[in-house]
Chain A
Amino acid sequence: QVQLVQSGAEVKTPGASVTVSCKASGHTFAGYYIHWVRQAPGQGLEWVGWVKANSGETTYAQRFQGRVTMTRDTSFSTTYLELTSLTSDDTAVYYCVREDRGMFDPWGQGTLVTVSS
């Protein structure tokens, strides 16, 4: 079955950068879009952007433009989210999720990123 497994929790200081990985198994990696969604503590879901697994094409939410980079390594069926210039507002659980015709499924288990001095 299709599964997305994310890297472990991260603790960063303000101004630092973080990279979260998402490894896919059980499906043809290259055929899909992988999205990143984040959820701050006690808050709702926020769409961050997507990377197309075969071409590496990306689209980001406007509020993250200039601070976010999504990449993929087809050899390892893995996508990466890099977020720079971190502030405490970036403290959240970051999810990767496969998208197909508007369906977000399955989801990774989530990676908690904590930004604290």
Chain B
Amino acid sequence: QSALTQPASVSGSPGQSITISCTGTSGDIGAYNYVSWYQQHPGKVPKLIIHGVTNRPSGASNRFSGAKSGNTAFLIISGLQAEDEADYYCNSYTGRTYVFGTGTKVTVL
């Protein structure tokens, strides 16, 4: 199972919106709605920010939203803030197994 493909880096200015893509196949993202996203600050434990493609867990900022089209999932961060500077990973169910994305470093300019 190959890792899901994410852009290595995305940047934006404070207040802007950015979108991170996560491309898989018809056997993972395209087949199931079990897509989740994780935020990881340096030296910290990953934190769940989106699950089930579009759902936000309690405690996650409402500036995070998710979507999916075909074999690609998206994480949208609106109203970018300095605290959003971190690494972001997508994850998908693949049928008994799971796979993470390659990770995206978000830089706030």
The number of chain B residues with a CB under 8 A from chain A is: 27
**Does more than half of chain B's interface fall in helix, strand or loop, or is it mixed?**
strand
B46 within 8 A of A: yes
Binary CB contact string for chain A from 52 to 87 against chain B (1 if under 8 A, 0 otherwise): 000000010110000000000000000000000000
Chain B interface: which of A9-17, A22-30, A98-106?
A98-106
Do A107 and B46 have beta carbons less than 8 Å apart? Answer: yes
Known: A101-B34, A104-B36. A61 touches B89 (CB 8 A): no
B residues contacting A by CB (< 8 A) are: 1, 3, 32, 34-36, 38, 40, 45-48, 51-52, 57, 87, 89, 91, 93, 96-103
Inter-chain CA distance A59–B96, complex, in Å, is 7
Residues of B within 8 A of A95 (CB): 45-46
Do A47 and B98 have beta carbons less than 8 Å apart? Answer: yes
The 5 closest A-B pairs by CB, nearest first: A102-B34, A44-B103, A105-B48, A103-B51, A45-B100
14 extra A-B contacts, CB within 8 A, seeds A46-B3, A101-B52, A107-B45 = A35-B98, A44-B87, A45-B89, A47-B91, A47-B97, A61-B97, A95-B45, A95-B46, A103-B48, A103-B57, A104-B36, A104-B48, A108-B45, A110-B45
Residues of A within 8 A of B1 (CB): 61-62
Residues of B within 8 A of A47 (CB): 91, 97-100
Known: A45-B89, A47-B97. A104 touches B3 (CB 8 A): no
**Does more than half of chain A's interface fall in helix, strand or loop, or is it mixed?**
strand
Inter-chain CA distance A93–B89, complex, in Å, is 16
Do B57 and A105 have beta carbons less than 8 Å apart? Answer: yes
Residues of B within 8 A of A45 (CB): 38, 40, 46, 89, 91, 100, 103
Residues of B within 8 A of A61 (CB): 1, 97
Do A44 and B89 have beta carbons less than 8 Å apart? Answer: yes
Residues of A within 8 A of B103 (CB): 44-45
